[in-house]
Amino acid sequence: MDKENIAILRQSIIDSLPDIEPGIDFPMGRVYVPPSHIKALQPENTIVEGMRGAGKSFWTATLSSENHRHFIKNTFPNTNIEAVTRVSVGFGTETKDNYPSRPILESLREMTSTESEFSDIWRTVIINQIRSDSLFPKQGGWKEKYQWVRTNPELVEILLRNYDADLSNKKKFHFILFDALDRSALNWYKIRPLAKSLFQIALEFQSYRAIRLKLFVRPDMLDDKEITAFPDASKLLARKVILDWRKVDLYALFFQSMVNAKGKSGKVFRNLLEETIGMECQVTEREGIYTLPNELRKDESMQQKLFERIAGKYMTMPSATAYKRGFPYTWLPNHLMDCNEKVSPRSFCTAIRVAAEEDIPEKWEYPLYFEGIQSGVQTASKMRVIEMKEDYPWVEDVLKPCQVLSVPIEKKEIVDLWQKIGIVDTLRKKEKQKKEQKLLPQNLDEDEEGLLKDLENLGMISRMTKERIQIPDVYRVAFGMGRKGGIPILNDHVAIISMDDIVFANG
């Protein structure tokens, strides 16, 4: 590849990769719907679970845009989104007039004393989205609207049923989306009753045919026993959809963004795709937006062939033994995986974007250099650890003392250390002060074994055997833990050396 096209593609990567965050002007050409997300967008599925960075807020913003829904309908017809004619947000990351902000929610919360009154908060929000009946007060603030809902349950029921019947007769749907529920109050103690009451309302609304609630939630909210402790919660949770990202989905997102890069950049990448894959596998264009062929969305060998034109074939300089260092196509996602084999698209895109910002040697013939990919993974990994600490502050209490240990390790060594420093008692004291705390370990009542269970659920540790523990490098290095011995790199299916020893790839 000549230097001009290398420079164009490097800048295109920096400019084009999405941050998987909502935005008013998010380009439609960067929207990609993985197969596992199709069910999440369908009307019949209420609960959508996603790890941080998986796209919950992205889909809230995208579904809220009529133009984006039109694009999804034409490009990804299996979503069955064509009947969704109205979408509104009941709670989210942005401050808007059609739903109460966190301070307003807290003021409404102070007016409640029973679970049914908590539920009326969300009924008020839902009625406000509909605005289809003169009975509901359009004047006044949220307190006045909430008081009206509390004192007029029969009129509320009539309003909802009539609106639902009218939509159903027209074979239309109204989505009401709820996102970022962890921001609905300042601490988990106050979040719990709000989340629980919304889940109960979501179950209730499953009896409606056209009004569809869709809740985008984090795994810890679904795991919280206090939030899901209500009759028939299993009926609601049994049909939850998880926002998963497979390796082919991550690369399809990357390629989808690149084929729609602005100006000359997009053309250069489309030419590269055609030159690499062949005329029989072309992108399609509709209304100025390019879409990947189905083969490139799901064929790993085809994707790898194309990515090798961008990043080279090996994670080192070409040589007879270069294959031992790994292959960029598999190396990149493998080093961003947690113990549950999950990679967030935010981490993936960050790694590639940072790689494109790194300098490349004068004679390197590709837009991405393997050392840049290593730097990108390091940056993305650090960001991931920061995110985990923000969402689950207790993990630092539990893992920071383990910096004197090396992995893989016997379970007994970790348990003995925790018992010596009294970590369970420390966390229980925090639990007694839970009005001031974020969510604490779900299984703390099982002592040290419960902590291990919670770390395993978060993908921060894995059990090699019943008594032997491993911690992925993405977390191990951040918490200062050592690594026993070295693991030879025979292929990309072997867990590689630590991020702090990343120099291995220089040969």
Six-digit token pair at 204? 């209730």
Residue 243 to residue 37: CA distance in whole angstroms? 6
- Residue 484, pLDDT > 60, answer yes
Flag the least confident range among 130-139, 196-205, 266-275, 472-481: 130-139
**Res. 429 pLDDT band, cuts 50 70 90:** confident
CA pair distance 202, 197, nearest whole angstrom: 9
Instruction: Identify the pLDDT of residue 84.
Output: 84
Lowest mean pLDDT of 119-133, 134-148, 199-213, 453-467, name the range.
134-148
Greater confidence (149 vs 112) lies with 149
Give the total residue count for the chain: 507
Q: Tell me what percent of the residues of the chain surpass a pLDDT of 90.
A: 48
pLDDT of residue 255: 95
Is the pLDDT reported for residue 490 higher than 70?
Answer: no
Q: Is the pLDDT of residue 507 over 80?
A: no
Query: What is the pLDDT at residue 134?
Result: 64
**pLDDT for 483:** 82
Using a 10 angstrom Cβ sphere, with 0-12 exposed, 13-18 middle and 19 or more buried, the burial of residue 322 is middle
Least confident of 67-76, 101-110, 352-361, 458-467: 67-76
Q: What is the pLDDT of residue 116?
A: 76
Separation of alpha carbons 85 and 231, rounded Å:
32
CA quadruple 428, 429, 430, 434: dihedral sign: positive
Q: DSSP E strands: which ranges in 100-160?
A: none
In the chain, the amino acid numbered 502 is I
The pTM of the full predicted model, rounded to 2 decimals, is 0.85
* Distance in angstroms (rounded) separating the CA atoms of residues 264 and 8: 8
Lowest mean pLDDT among 247-251, 312-316, 382-386, 428-432: 428-432
Question: Is there a contact between 352 and 368 (Cβ–Cβ < 8 Å)?
Answer: yes
Structure tokens at 242: 């998880």
DSSP codes of every residue in 172-196 = -EEEEEE--GGGSSSSHHHHHHHHH
User: Residue 472: its pLDDT value, please?
Assistant: 85
Q: Decide if 197 contacts 119 (C-beta within 8 A).
A: yes
- Dihedral pair phi/psi, residue 241, rounded to 5°: -115, 135
Q: What per-residue confidence (pLDDT) applies to 359?
A: 93
The pLDDT score that the predictor gives to residue 20 is 54
Among candidate residues 63, 31, 104, 62, the one with its CA nearest the CA of residue 213: 63
Under 8 Å CB-to-CB from 204, ≥6 apart: which residues?
Answer: none
CA angle 440, 338, 483 (to 5 degrees): 95
* Cβ count near 89 (within 10 Å): 22
Among the residue ranges 152-166, 248-262, 375-389, 481-495, the one predicted with the least confidence is 481-495
Under 8 Å CB-to-CB from 77, ≥6 apart: which residues? Answer: none
Predicted pLDDT of residue 499: 38
Q: For 104-144, write each residue's pLDDT tens digit.
A: 998 998 888 777 788 999 999 999 988 766 667 777 889 99
**pLDDT: is 486 or 132 the higher one?**
132
Which of 179, 177, 161 is CA-nearest to residue 169?
A: 161
In angstroms, rounded to a whole number, what is the distance separating the alpha carbons of residues 202 and 240? 12
